[in-house]
Amino acid sequence: MAVAFHNLNSDSGLKKLDEYLLARSYITGYQASKDDITVYSYLAKTPSAEYVNASRWYKHIDALLRISGVSGEGAGVIVEGSAPITEAVATPPAADSKASAAEEEDDDDVDLFGEETEEEKKAAEERAAAMKASGKKKESGKSSVLMDVKPWDDETDMKKLEEAVRSVHMEGLTYGASKLVPVGYGIKKLQIMLTIVDDLVSVDDLIENYLTVEPINEYVQSCDIVAFNKI
């Protein structure tokens, strides 16, 4: 059964979304998908800091759309009571042009992130071709990793924990955005994005570094891979 939300730009809608994302990184499943883009497209702006989980999720999806895109199909999501904010969605220029043309021809095509049509599949293929032609090619053999890093307790200095995590330098490893996510009882975990070159960095070796190397193990209790995607 599809997940349903109502009027995401209202206080009640944002509260429901925030509660829903308390124990989830994505709308459905364990990787970013079309369901995340659908919900994202209905939000006029980043949720305020009051909605910490929704705000964290929104910024993460926004970063993925601007950097590497989202390819997961998802399980289905329904948003009622408002129209999608298509201007907020980060897409390449070629896709924007097609969207504008579609709006002029038929208002029914405004929602770019509903059920996938043949036109949308064709547009996705054209976006990929445009990216290759632009000279900004994605290097093959890389993976995007979203990792949860949990401290020992609520007294752990999370700033020093992040500094310790980022102090691990390996050939083929690049650190990205990070955020602190509440997990309960005053404890927060660090959620951080990494990019690795598959032939140079093993995820198992990476996690072992975070758990065994001093002084990192002074702060880090455990590391978990939340999402792993080839790019």
pTM: 0.41
Q: Is residue 112 part of a domain?
A: yes
Residue 18's pLDDT is 92
Residues 146 and 95 in one domain: no
Residues 59 and 101 in one domain: no
Residues 157 and 211 in one domain: yes
Residues 160 and 204 in one domain: yes
Measured distance CA(84)–CA(112) in Å, rounded? 9
Residue 231's pLDDT is 67
Q: Is residue 74 part of a domain?
A: yes
Token readout for 86 is 């298509």
Residues 6+ apart with CB under 8 A from 62: 40, 46, 90
**What's the per-residue H, E or C state across 42-101?**
CCCCCCCCCCHHHHHHHHHHHHHHHHCCCCECCCCEEEECCCCCHHHCCCCHHHHHHHHH
Q: Is residue 212 part of a domain?
A: yes
Measured distance CA(196)–CA(141) in Å, rounded? 9
Residue 15's pLDDT is 92
Q: Among the three residues 99, 133, 167, which one is the final residue of a domain in this structure?
A: 133
Mean pLDDT value of segment 55-75: 81
Q: Among the three residues 38, 56, 80, which one is the final residue of a domain in this structure?
A: 80
pLDDT above 70 (res 59): yes
Measured distance CA(168)–CA(183) in Å, rounded? 25
Across the chain, mean pLDDT equals 76
Residue 202, phi then psi, degrees to nearest 5: -100, 130
Q: Please state the separation of Cα 163 from the chain's center in Å.
A: 22
Kindly state the DSSP code that residue 1 receives in the 8-state scheme. Answer: -
Q: How large a percentage of the chain has pLDDT more than 70?
A: 71
Residues 74 and 96 in one domain: no
Residues 108 and 149 in one domain: no
Q: Is residue 85 part of a domain?
A: no
Residue 189, phi then psi, degrees to nearest 5: -110, 155
Q: Is residue 27 part of a domain?
A: yes
Between these two residues, 206 and 142, which has the higher pLDDT value?
142
Residues 222 and 150 in one domain: yes
Answer yes or no: are the C-beta atoms of 147 and 194 closer than 8 Å. yes
CATH number, domain with residue 195:
3.30.70.60
Q: Is residue 86 part of a domain?
A: no
Residue 17's pLDDT is 92
pLDDT above 60 (res 183): yes
Mean pLDDT value of segment 147-152: 88
Residues 224 and 152 in one domain: yes
Of 147, 146, 161, nearest in space to 217 by CA: 161
- Output the CA torsion sign for 71, 121, 79, 76: negative
Residues 129 and 147 in one domain: no
Segment among 145-154, 155-164, 216-225 with least mean pLDDT: 216-225
Domain span at 211: 142-230
Q: How many domains does the chain have?
A: 3
Q: Among the three residues 133, 164, 195, which one is the final residue of a domain in this structure?
A: 133
Residues 146 and 224 in one domain: yes
Answer yes or no: are the C-beta atoms of 217 and 150 closer than 8 Å. no
